[in-house]
Structure 1
Amino acid sequence: MRSMLQGRFQAVLGAESQPEFRAEIERFTHSLDFQTFSAMTVVDHALGKPEFIVLDNCPTGFAEAMHNPQLGLQDPVMQHCKRYSVPIVWDQQTYVGGGNPDLWDAQASFGYRTGICLALHLPEGRHFLLGVDRDQPLPEDPAYVTRMVADLQLFAVHALDTALRVQLPPEQQLERPHLTPRELEVLRWTMDGKTAWEVGAILGITERTAVLHLSNAGQKLGCNNKHQTVLKALRLGLIR
């Protein structure tokens, strides 16, 4: 658990503003050996058009095209992300196969030649898209590329709730479950790798009571095990 939450994955959870959030995404992007990124939070409204909130480091000359909603109607990567949560690894052939090679030619001149993109679709019309791009081909080693995709997925899961927290006004944010102080204490020590017996000894409660608090927290957060419970509590900002 601790190794999973260290470094680049955990740091994004602590971002308290859009500039901090942007800096953490850019730092992660460079750590994967990509140059540019785009992070988009989308809110579907019952009445009216969807709301798009974008953070990126794209070249100034490409920004207007990058932020044009009509681009999504032509871009095979965006069309994939609208329909699926499975990441897509894209290059020139993706656009050729999608019938839009001219779009790839246009963006390639700005350094967008290949990349990885994914979308996370939430209840109540919330969506989070994250893509990283580079001007060089991806490594030929399939295992290395698979690891890059997995890293991006894990980072996106951590970044998701930070995006909703720092980019949406309070009235648009989803309600967070209420955990008792004791449940939060148990989660914090569990995050540090303590067993239920050790948590009980630290807090002066029985092992069974520690397990009960952890189980109650998991039920409130809709999780099936302690690892999912800790991760979701971190994502929601309930623990640090």
Structure 2
Amino acid sequence: MLQGGYQSVLEARSRDEFRSELTRFANDLDFERFSAILVVDRAMGSSEFITVGNTPAGFTSMFNDPRLGKKDPVMQHCKRQSVPIVWNQQTYQKHDAPELWEAQAAFGYKVGISLALHLPEGRHFVLGVNREETLPNNPVTLTRMVADLQLFAVHAVDAALRVLLPHPHAPGDVDAPRLTPRELQCLHWTMEGKTAWEVGTILSITERTAVLHINNAMHKLGCTNKHQAVLKALRLGLIR
């Protein structure tokens, strides 16, 4: 499950190490540009944005302008949904924002793939890769790219929370939650790639009960899906 490239981002211990892992991943996927944005919702409707990327200096002010973000169809998609978006010039034309695409295309942002993970406690993780060259026409190749980005994001979000957020928000600064033996068993078999039905069969419980244990573990660990829960449980030493 923890392949080399995904394992290494989990081990990032600083902002620079985290950025290096993002650079490596983007380059391996044949993208020149990348950005990871950790969003923390604050009181009175305000939000804090912490960005790690390789945005060109001349494009930084536009990239960080919240007013343009409200018009950007990619950012608006990520704000509202968790499914990835594969975008190009037509995406911006469809949403009446061709001038935004023209402006960013001059800096190499012509096509890309972006997604967001919406976490508990008003935290969000947005990850995107961008390039000038058109995306593959082969749907299998493109689907694999999207899947790689999704899998990397699930691994990267834990490192982002740990190295980008100050105390006391970093997950590593709090005591490990107390999971029941059944919850730990369900996470263990999930880590081994078993479905909820298979976990139930192994543990002699119903599929519905297995799902309940996994959901309880996710809630206690502050995660939004079972993959994040497995990764966090591994990092905290709850399962091996």
Q: So what's the TM-score if we normalise by structure 1? A: 0.78
2:131 to 131, 134, 141: 134
Matched, 1:172 2:172: no
**What residue identity is the alignment partner of 1:222?**
M
CA displacement, residues 199-222 of structure 1 (integer Å, 9 cap, x when unaligned): xxxxxxxx99xxxxxx9x957633
Larger radius of gyration: 1
Aligned residue identity for 2:84: P
Aligned length: 216
In 2, the alpha carbon distance for the partners of 1:70 and 1:32 equals 30
Q: Please say if 1:222 is aligned against 2:218.
A: yes
User: What is the identity, as a one-letter code, of the residue corresponding to 1:42?
Assistant: V
What letter is aligned with 1:64? S
The percent of aligned pairs where both chains have the same amino acid is 51
Q: Superposed, which structure 2 residues align to 1:1-240 within 5 Å?
A: 4-47=1-44, 49-173=46-170, 177-178=176-177, 221-222=217-218, 232-235=229-232, 237-239=235-237
- Give the deviation of 1:234 after TM superposition: 2.8
Q: Aligned partners of 1:126 and 1:74: how far apart in 2? A: 21
CA RMSD of aligned residues (A): 3.2
On the 8 A contact 2:176/2:236 being kept in 1, the answer is: no
Q: Which moved more, 1:26-35 or 1:58-67?
A: 58-67
1:122 to partner: Cα distance: 1.1
Amino acid at match of 2:82: S
Structure 2 residues not aligned, in runs of 5+: 193-201, 204-210, 220-224
* Superposition deviation, residue 173 in structure 1: 3.6
Q: Which runs of 5 or more residues in structure 1 are unaligned?
A: 194-206, 209-214
1:233 CA drift (Å): 4.3
